Structure 1
């Protein structure tokens, strides 16, 4: 494992930048984006997730935001690094759906027309960031193979918001809101082995988010939102066993290897 230390970030400034980014475009009929805008805890949570994978980023990199949607993670990268990074993003959404968000953070967007194929050259990116993407693709193995191809040797794969197999919030969702539950969930140890199979060596990782940061539409009442806000300090326990096994998601940083 590399010497991994989360640097001191101005999280308040990043949260403010993220709020401005989310307010810069039209949410339309996107309930996911509307929920992220309505709860400050959602923005605070995303900044915390970004801080965990941030040490793999550096000025001068060419970065791909894989499954970028409204480019929230790219907005945080741009807020911290300014013009010192080259940002690209891809997703299945039509280019016009989130164009205002992409323009705000200076992201070059490409719409995907294949379940896993990426129309980028081999060894093109220094890093790929994937926030809540891998669990939704049709074939995660084929997608990991493509990500390996487009990364430079030693390039970093940064994954956040990967659904945890033991998550208590997933347990509730499967029983009360099955349409919002993830069918594909991952265990931390098993996922590290899976990444190895596709040429990635995990160098850092952990659990994330014991307390939920947002609510299903049916539960978005004022008093429940206050409960969510009050519960956020519980996230300080997200990597303490056995509570870690119940966390909502996993995060990891892995590097492309051409031999082990």
Structure 2
């Protein structure tokens, strides 16, 4: 049987989300250490991850879905990195064997403490989609919650294909699912929390093929939300109790209602 993303359900998805390397508790401890670096930061994303344990656990689970495409000795680009939390989890697991690079539209000083601590070479983007890197410069690109926010996602996919080496991996997490029940609620009750650009699994897989990427592993992520709008923060306790339901995030038909999707896609130079 195949998932809506066109990936065999029996074996391939499980292989790419298998528990290898650091245990979840170790990764969570590493993430908490990292988020504590700048107590004075006003970044709402960092503040939310600090304040709500399910938000930190969610990020660790997202990383564990795509981490088996990472390997010692790789050149890795964290595309749209901000403070680069996914890179920090990779650093915690692989140490100095990874060469970490990051790019975003943020000023270099905005997250300099984070980047310096994890040893990430940061570049500020000067163009809406062009990347200031050589062809075939990277073995992996981390794309955590980035593609849905760029001005031209097709042009960005073309650039990501260019900077990856043959068979290099594009590792996507937090891609908004068009059929998500939480997106449905957000669009109607909390529009600022909703994504304007959302994706459907099969359609996005076909689109990746058009841009030279073949999906080799994929799945759905986060059936229950990991945070709440400020107006509903009094319900945080109930949300914590609901987190165990996330084990159902890839169970049909509930998987189709999950908030986001993750994918491992490989650069192909021909099919």
Matches for 1:11-160 after TM superposition, within 5 Å:
11-26=24-39, 28-160=41-173
Question: What is the distance in 2 between the residues matched to 1:161 and 1:125?
Answer: 21
**Aligned match for 1:213, one of 208, 226, 234:** 226
SS in 2 for 1:20: helix
Deviations 1:69-106 (A, max 9, x none): 01100010000000010000000000011111111111
Q: CA deviation at 1:33?
A: 1.8
Partner of 1:258: 269
TM-score by length of 1: 0.96
Q: CA deviation at 1:241?
A: 1.1
State whether structure 2 residue 251 is matched by structure 1 residue 246. no
Task: Indicate if the aligned counterparts of 1:27 and 1:34 stay in contact, CA closer than 8 A.
Answer: no
Instruction: Describe the shift of the 1:27–1:188 C-alpha distance in structure 2 as closer, same or farther (beyond 3 A).
Output: farther
Question: What is the distance in 2 between the residues matched to 1:22 and 1:118?
Answer: 27
Question: What is the distance in 1 between the residues matched to 2:133 and 2:231?
Answer: 41
Q: CA deviation at 1:228?
A: 1.3
Question: What is the distance in 2 between the residues matched to 1:105 and 1:70?
Answer: 10
Q: CA deviation at 1:169?
A: 0.6
Task: Indicate if the aligned counterparts of 1:7 and 1:55 stay in contact, CA closer than 8 A.
Answer: no
Deviations 1:38-91 (A, max 9, x none): 001111111111011011000000000000001100010000000010000000
Deviations 1:7-40 (A, max 9, x none): 4341101100001101102453322221111001
Matches for 1:159-238 after TM superposition, within 5 Å:
159-221=172-234, 224-238=235-249
Instruction: Describe the shift of the 1:232–1:26 C-alpha distance in structure 2 as closer, same or farther (beyond 3 A).
Output: same
How many residue pairs get aligned? The number is: 258
Q: CA deviation at 1:157?
A: 0.2
SS in 2 for 1:254: strand
